[in-house]
Amino acid sequence: MLSDFFPVVSLQCAKDNQEKITGFIGLGEGNIDMLFIAPEHRGLGIGSMLLSHAVTHHQASKVDVNEQNTQAIRFYERMGFKIISRSELDGMDKPFPILHMQHRN
């Protein structure tokens, strides 16, 4: 079913003891396309675990982040990413600046 919604993204999920999905990361061709953690599970290291797995086992090295999402920017910087460029428009040509980040391998 997930492949119907995300046909070109490889999803890696984290689950709790009751097998409930607590977060997931979507990967495509070396890029981190999405990273979501359920609000009630934030701050527990799930995002760090998913991102570390993606970098180590799937060679994920790039991510685009909305410039206004300072929490995400700080998270990726703590995880070894740095800003390499900036775009004035998002992927839908809307005026939401995007920061392009790359992992410091």
Q: Which domains does the chain have, with CATH numbers?
A: 1-60 (3.40.630.30), 61-105 (no CATH)
**Coil, strand or helix: which one is 16?**
coil
Q: Note the residue count of the chain.
A: 105
List per-block mean pLDDT (blocks of 10 residues) for the chain, which spans 105 residues.
62 94 95 96 96 96 97 97 96 95 91
Return d(Cα 55, Cα 104) in angstroms, integer: 10
Residue 79 tokens read as 């995880």
pTM: 0.87
